[in-house]
Structure formats: C-alpha cells, structure tokens
Chain A
C-alpha cells in the first residue's frame, strides 16, 4: 500500500479514502472502494484504439481528422462530460464556443432540473459532510443508493458517527425510502420506513405530505394509509436536520418541480430540511457548474459561432437536437449515447461524422469516424471534479499511461481548428 489516499471516480460520491496497490501501470488492489468503483479504477478489459475511418491511426492524424470534422460542421454537437475533469470540461466549452456547437451532458435527461434549481437557489441544499455530522432524518426518494452509489449510506447518510450523531444509526438516525418498488435500500430501511407508492404518484404523495404537515387529512387518489402519511409527516416535522436524497425515480416522475418546491417550502416552515441530488457520473455536477459560470445555463446550450452568444432551451438538448436532426457532426467525450439514450433518438449519430474520446471501447465508438483513447480520469490523469453535493475534490494521477488526458486531446483539437 502506498499510504496515500486517492479518489474513486466510479460515481459522484467521489470517495476520497481509497488506498491502492499498483503493478505494471495498473491497479492490482483497491482498498475501501465499492465493487463498481473498483471496476472503474482497475480499468476496462477492452481499451479504445486510436482509429480514423475504422483503421488504426496515430494520435496526430486522429486529432487532425477530428478538428477537420468539427471545422467543416455547421452545427456540431459536443456531448458527454460527466466523466471528464473540470479542466477538460472548460476546454470543451471553449471548443463549443469556437465552433458554434450544441453542448450538453447527461444531466439534460437526468438530474439537470434539480441541479439547476439548486444553483439558482430555489432549493435548499447542504454537503454530505453536513449529512454525516447532523442529519437525523434521511429520505431516499426514488433513489436506490445501494445500487447506484453503494457507499452513500455507510460514508454519509445512515451508518457513520458524526459530530452530532454519536450514538449510532439505530438511535440517532431515521432512514426512509419512498419508491415504487422495494429496492435494496428500502430493505435496509426496514418495512415501517418504506413507503411504496404507485408509478408517477410522487407529486400527489408530496401534496399529501404537505397536507399532513399542515394538520390536514392527507388524501390520495390511490388510498394510501392516511395514518402512515401522518406518521411520516410527523417524523419529518420533528427532524433536527432532515435531508431528501433525490433519485432519478423522482426526477423522471415529476412533470415539473413545483410540488417539490412546495414540499421543501412547507418542510422549512415547520422543520429544517435540505436536499441533495443523487448525481450519477463523477463530474456531471462539475460540468453544470462550469457551464453555468460561463453562460448562466447548466446544460442544453447552442453557441452562436459568430457572436459567441449562448442560446439555451430544450430544443438545444442532446435528445431534441438529435431527434430534429439539427446537428451535422458530433464529438462524444467519456460517454456512450448509443447505449444510454433511446436508440430511436441516438441512431441518427450513425449517419453523421462522429468522434469518440474515451478510455474504453463502447457502442458509440464502434460507429465513430474517429476514436481517440484517453487516460482514465482519477487513475491515469489528475484534475478536479465536483461531488454530487457541490464540493470540489482534487483528483490525483495514480499510474502513468501512454494515452493523453481528455483535457490534452481537446486542447490539441482546439489548436488544430
């Protein structure tokens, strides 16, 4: 062991207590990280090759070709960013500005609305360290961290001792799961603390809790046991420091955020509540913050190539831009839209010049005109990233790699345009 701590980039918890053993530029052992974090840090078994038009190429010609594709495109799309350092993201934003591109990330079809509301001060938030030290009521809503963020409960939200939480989880903390199915997380929160609601009923359930908090009878169209809702409202009311961990299940179920705003407002009238988005990719929030600092928008931006002005709107989202076929080339960084978007939407990518920058082979790369392998963030390259709660974390390089970092690749593409 090196006696030095590194950061795991497996998810946006960015666990910073990881010790490693290395052998021949690979991690041979990873301590304290969860299963999927270890898989991320040890690297994939099918690394990406540097190619142009399906033929092996050297990095210089791949960069030249990538630059030519972007230069010749009228409306390129730059997408990905969740698995890139903040430094790489900033260059990507500059590249988008220079080429008049659409720029977007995964938040566009997941946690975006929540992160946006937080950055606009519409939702009260806190750090995960606050949660560990203070939180006594923790609500996992449409979230199953045991699968998506395995160390969430052990590092911060349920099991650890903290400054004001010294007596252990059984006495000190109440963890509640609200979901449409009994997830792994729900199982640890025990039956009495699991609220199973029908699909798409989250907004209505929020209204019912607000009623309960207001001393009214909480009615639901699905006849949820009123006593149990009142019990829940009561636990929330008595919380010294409550936190709602918002999962994708909740985000996808809400047509608009209004019911969540109302719930948070009511909770903070009668209690003390915060909210943290369960961000997936390790630096999605970093991208949102970096683009926000540059343009005032967290995602879904189209730059005007002449004025450099940023236009924002749903029509500039990766999904709508591909659906409307309004892009004529695409650069994908650290993402695999042909896997992660509806195929009916992503299929259009196979019809246009496509560039993939990633450490690993993926579906999008197999259909790309240019593929450029990059160093694995947090393992083969350093940088900074932003944790799901907005805290900036420093990533250190652990082992050497022959691949350039995505920051270096993007810089070189930028210079070649």
Chain B
C-alpha cells in the first residue's frame, strides 16, 4: 500500500476544500484510512488534467464499495477461489459445521465467506469476530490466503 505522501502527490494539491476537508493532505490521510473515497474529491473526478492520477488512485484503492463495516476488503483480482478462508473462518465453522466447516460448499445463509464465480464474497460481516462489543483481532482468513487477497483496513 502507498504511503500518505504518495497519495498526496496524486491529489490536486490546491486545498480547494470542496471535499469538506481543509487541505489536500488531510484528504490524503483520510483516504489512506479509507474514511473517504477517491470520488469524494470533485476536481479529481471532473477535471480532465487529473484523469491519470484519478485512475491511479482508483486502482490503488480498488472499488471502495467493497470495504465492509469491519474494514474487510477482498481484492477480487488476487482471489483464486480456493475457499481456504471459507473453511478456516471460525464464524463459518460455527454457523455451518457440516458445510463450510467440513470443507464443502456453504449450506447456511449465515456464513461470512462464500465463493461465487471463482472469487470469494463477504457478507454478514456483522458476524465477524472483529466486529461488535467483544471484538478480537481474528486473522484466520488472512493467514490462510495463499495470494493475500484479503485485507483489513
């Protein structure tokens, strides 16, 4: 992942405040923390001269829609659909012991991970152990991924 300076260099650096932040640097910091989206910077989206930078940033941050409430991101382009996360996720095991927990296709609607068209899809993220009051830093899905396709931000 890029650092804040690299992101800043790709922004308009005009401190126009259209995004609601006081400076482009502040926007860069929030972008890195994924509190804002690339599209929240109007000049970047609308002005032709920033087109290349806009596209680079979009590539860096993937499609921000995919960031779930727990900060879970699946990098679709890296995922091989092996299902390691599907089977290793403790929540999947608990909610679907004879399907996902036993290595097979999930048979319950309560699973967090499910492979569709060869790529893993995250859902029911509120069930993730990183969420809620007693949250813990579970890494089962990250550690078992052979291509580092899963990330928490």
Q: Which residues of A contact B (CB under 8 A)?
A: 5, 17-19, 29-39, 132, 146-147, 150-151, 153-156, 158-162, 168-169, 184-185, 187-188
Give the chain A neighbours of B103 by CB distance below 8 A. Answer: 132, 154-156, 159-161
- With beta carbons under 8 angstroms apart, the residue of A5, A29, A39, A154 that contacts B84 is A154
Ranked nearest first, the 4 interchain pairs of A and B with the lowest CB-CB distance are A160-B103, A32-B105, A35-B118, A38-B118
Q: Is the CB of B118 within 8 A of A154?
A: no
Q: 9 A-B contacts, Cβ less than 8 Å apart?
A: A32-B104, A33-B81, A35-B119, A37-B81, A150-B82, A158-B84, A160-B103, A161-B103, A168-B88
Q: Is the CB of A159 within 8 A of B80?
A: no
* Residue ID in chain A nearest B86 by CB atoms: A154
Q: In the complex, what distance in Å separates the CA atom of A401 from the CA atom of B16?
A: 60
Q: In the complex, what distance in Å separates the CA atom of A49 from the CA atom of B111?
A: 43
* Residue ID in chain A nearest B85 by CB atoms: A154
Give the chain A neighbours of B114 by CB distance below 8 A. Answer: 31-32
Beyond A155-B83, A160-B103: 6 further Cβ-contacts under 8 Å? A5-B105, A30-B117, A30-B118, A38-B118, A154-B86, A184-B147
A-B Cβ contacts below 8 A, count: 100
Q: Is the CB of A151 within 8 A of B83?
A: yes
Q: Which residues of B contact A (CB under 8 A)?
A: 79-84, 86-88, 90, 93, 97, 101-106, 114-119, 143-147
* Residue ID in chain A nearest B105 by CB atoms: A32
- With beta carbons under 8 angstroms apart, the residue of B82, B90, B97 that contacts A151 is B82
Give the chain A neighbours of B147 by CB distance below 8 A. Answer: 146, 184
Q: Is the CB of B118 within 8 A of A161?
A: no
Given the interface pairs A32-B105, A33-B115, A146-B146, the reply to whether A38 lies near B81 with Cβ below 8 Å is yes
- With beta carbons under 8 angstroms apart, the residue of B82, B104, B106 that contacts A153 is B82
Q: Is the CB of A35 within 8 A of B79?
A: yes
Given the interface pairs A18-B105, A161-B97, the reply to whether A188 lies near B84 with Cβ below 8 Å is yes
Give the chain B neighbours of A168 by CB distance below 8 A. Answer: 88, 90, 93
Give the chain B neighbours of A36 by CB distance below 8 A. Answer: 80, 118
Give the chain A neighbours of B117 by CB distance below 8 A. Answer: 29-30, 38
Q: In the complex, what distance in Å separates the CA atom of A31 from the CA atom of B83?
A: 11
Give the chain A neighbours of B119 by CB distance below 8 A. Answer: 35
Q: Is the CB of A150 within 8 A of B144?
A: no
- With beta carbons under 8 angstroms apart, the residue of B104, B106, B143, B146 that contacts A155 is B104
Given the interface pairs A132-B103, A160-B103, A185-B146, the reply to whether A150 lies near B80 with Cβ below 8 Å is yes
Give the chain B neighbours of A39 by CB distance below 8 A. Answer: 118
Q: Is the CB of B118 within 8 A of A34?
A: yes
Give the chain A neighbours of B88 by CB distance below 8 A. Answer: 154, 159, 168-169
- With beta carbons under 8 angstroms apart, the residue of B83, B86, B101 that contacts A161 is B101
Q: Is the CB of A162 within 8 A of B118?
A: no
Q: In the complex, what distance in Å separates the CA atom of A164 from the CA atom of B3?
A: 47
Q: In the complex, what distance in Å separates the CA atom of A29 from the CA atom of B118?
A: 9
- Measured between C-beta atoms, what is the minimum distance from B104 to chain A in Å? 5
Given the interface pairs A146-B80, A154-B82, the reply to whether A188 lies near B118 with Cβ below 8 Å is no
Give the chain B neighbours of A31 by CB distance below 8 A. Answer: 105, 114-116
* Residue ID in chain B nearest A35 by CB atoms: B118
Give the chain B neighbours of A185 by CB distance below 8 A. Answer: 146
- With beta carbons under 8 angstroms apart, the residue of B86, B105, B143 that contacts A188 is B143
Q: In the complex, what distance in Å separates the CA atom of A146 from the CA atom of B114?
A: 18
